[in-house]
Structure 1
């Protein structure tokens, strides 16, 4: 009776183990997604980037429309060009905390630069508009950091932003902002705070790359349009144009004087005609000089624009290459673990499918042989 129970139990175990083989599954890891807090931080930072560039562009356009002189108008256009380039480089950082810190530093540096510089070096009587805008953006950046960070993390980032702004004197308009990834990570290590290097899942990496390429493309298109505006302003205010207008006015006055004289004294018509020819010659020379100067200026602006477009295109391609390399590296780093899991499951499958049934059959055969011998011995007795 005990032998029968053991046989049934062994058969039941073999059936359960054989049926368990259908649970073997193979899955490919796509990388750990970013925590929800970091995803929210990235989305909020890039949303603030669009508000930042739009606010600066509106203020710069208002100053350019109201400014009485060419220098102020060109300075306003250059300000929004520099802020647009710096903002896209800061907000599109792959690490959400670094992007937030760089954007905050950009606003802080602009606020300090505009507060320290006199009106004569900025936009004259229209400088208060720019100061109000950058002050508002700096306050909004601090409020954004307070909203998306925990209390302890916000205190650390505020200390870092204050220390970084104090350690790096502001030059120009404060629109340039270096990458602070290394400085931020070093600061966290010095404070004993942890930091993560997760790049997110493949889908998040691809979405981040798309945002960065779109931001760079939009910034490049806007910069090209604003460069064209500066060129048009310079051509409208060129000194040769004023000289040409003065020559035309002088020619008109001389022509009227000549007509009046010829009506009353026909004898001096020859002298007047010679004077008229000289004026026409001067006018032609002035027009020729004006055209040559305009073409020279146009060639120089075109060369500058070409160099800028080439530099931006190279930077964009380097960003794309780095993002692609990070994605491939993440996939290759996860490959050994996947291969190890597959090999382990294959070994387990071989043991379950071949080893256990063989062992069970061998044991049952031996048991049956012993039972047969015992019964033969009992019949022999």
Structure 2
């Protein structure tokens, strides 16, 4: 009988423990972190601006190539290639930034600067007689990015940002077709009346940050390939139709033929060879100087083009490393804060559950034993 009561009591303890533990809401852990995903509006902005940059680059390349093919002047062709290289590179820098609204505003500024420089006397002279085709394209692209901004932003925000873009473009006109970029975060924050640190709310969740890095690596890879191809096109235009190697080889062949003839003359007519050898220096030196000058010029051009390409690749690599480091640092900080919060949350839950379990396994048996002993004592009394 005692053993039966003991088994019933143990079963009661186990059932009571399970009921209390299962009904305790504190045991339902919710693992969260401080990663704040991008709001839907900003995610839509990022997608729209990067899609616009792809169309922007395609249209600029198409109209530039059309102008190159229809222009006879070599210098104008070279200028158009420089313009195309500078504008496409700048559009990649503006559109592929971590903060979506900043990308939108900077791309908007670039389009307005494009319109202004094309209309200037410098632009007309630099791009030749067909500059008006680029002017039409610049106006269409500026109108398109303005429409994208209007569709993404509410009316009040659109008016504020439009005022900033117009003001910033007038204060920072483009004076070369390299389209140099400057960081607009500080002036934009001042225009909006907020601190730089409070303007950027989040760079997105870890997955969004990784996707952003992948997109920027992709555009950098694509643009480096384009720049190399256009540098090759510039070299071909500078050298013209002649192949430098063929030109130098033909000159060497002429020199070899001249020496063969001299040897023949010396063999058959030694007295004539003396007269010819006396004038040989005067005949050969212009040819040698011509070869040297041609080689120096070609080597100088190759060196200049190599330096320019190296500078561009270094700039792209530095920007990419800077962006990856910033995104990686953000992800590490967010991850560390998330782990810290999880540890804090789990620790007090464990402590509380331990207290509950101690009360269940020690308090209830003690109380039950106490009351059972008390009841038995009264019964015996």
The runs of 5 or more residues in structure 1 that have no matched partner are: 1-8, 248-270
State the match for 1:129 in structure 2. 133
State the match for 1:150 in structure 2. 154
State the match for 1:67 in structure 2. 71
Whether the 8 Å CA contact 1:119–1:125 is kept in 2: the answer is no
State the match for 2:170 in structure 1. 166
CA deviation after TM superposition for structure 1 residue 351, in Å: 1.8
1:147-182, Cα deviation, whole Å (9 max, x unpaired): 122222222211221222233233224822322122
1:4-26, Cα deviation, whole Å (9 max, x unpaired): xxxxx999764421334795446
Q: 1:331 aligns with which of 335, 342, 346?
A: 335
State how 1:302-313 maps to structure 2 within 5 Å: 302-313=306-317
TM-score by length of 1: 0.78
Q: 1:16 aligns with which of 11, 16, 19?
A: 19
Indicate whether 1:219 and 2:223 are aligned: yes
Cα gap change, 1:279/1:128 in structure 2, threshold over 3 Å: closer, same or farther? farther
Whether the 8 Å CA contact 1:31–1:202 is kept in 2: the answer is yes
State the match for 1:316 in structure 2. 320
Moved more, 157-166 or 67-76: 157-166
Count of residues paired in the alignment:
341
The whole-number CA distance in structure 2 between the counterparts of 1:303 and 1:196 is 37
Whether the 8 Å CA contact 1:91–1:103 is kept in 2: the answer is yes
Cα gap change, 1:123/1:33 in structure 2, threshold over 3 Å: closer, same or farther? same
CA deviation after TM superposition for structure 1 residue 288, in Å: 4.6
Whether the 8 Å CA contact 1:106–1:176 is kept in 2: the answer is no
Indicate whether 1:178 and 2:182 are aligned: yes
The whole-number CA distance in structure 2 between the counterparts of 1:148 and 1:96 is 11
The whole-number CA distance in structure 2 between the counterparts of 1:334 and 1:182 is 29
Cα gap change, 1:317/1:81 in structure 2, threshold over 3 Å: closer, same or farther? same
State the match for 2:207 in structure 1. 203
The whole-number CA distance in structure 1 between the counterparts of 2:99 and 2:329 is 16
Indicate whether 1:340 and 2:306 are aligned: no
CA deviation after TM superposition for structure 1 residue 36, in Å: 1.5
The runs of 5 or more residues in structure 2 that have no matched partner are: 1-11, 252-274
Secondary structure at 1:203's aligned position in 2? Answer: helix
State the match for 1:108 in structure 2. 112
The whole-number CA distance in structure 2 between the counterparts of 1:278 and 1:62 is 49
Cα gap change, 1:113/1:202 in structure 2, threshold over 3 Å: closer, same or farther? same
CA deviation after TM superposition for structure 1 residue 61, in Å: 1.0
Moved more, 310-319 or 51-60: 310-319
Whether the 8 Å CA contact 1:24–1:345 is kept in 2: the answer is no
The whole-number CA distance in structure 2 between the counterparts of 1:367 and 1:286 is 118
State the match for 2:56 in structure 1. 52
RMSD of aligned Cα (Å): 3.5
The whole-number CA distance in structure 2 between the counterparts of 1:302 and 1:174 is 17
The whole-number CA distance in structure 2 between the counterparts of 1:226 and 1:11 is 79
Secondary structure at 2:337's aligned position in 1? Answer: helix
CA deviation after TM superposition for structure 1 residue 108, in Å: 0.8
State the match for 2:81 in structure 1. 77
State how 1:264-279 maps to structure 2 within 5 Å: none
Secondary structure at 2:181's aligned position in 1? Answer: coil
State the match for 1:356 in structure 2. 360
The whole-number CA distance in structure 1 between the counterparts of 2:168 and 2:239 is 41
The whole-number CA distance in structure 2 between the counterparts of 1:282 and 1:14 is 106
The whole-number CA distance in structure 2 between the counterparts of 1:50 and 1:41 is 14
The whole-number CA distance in structure 1 between the counterparts of 2:16 and 2:361 is 10
The whole-number CA distance in structure 1 between the counterparts of 2:322 and 2:291 is 47
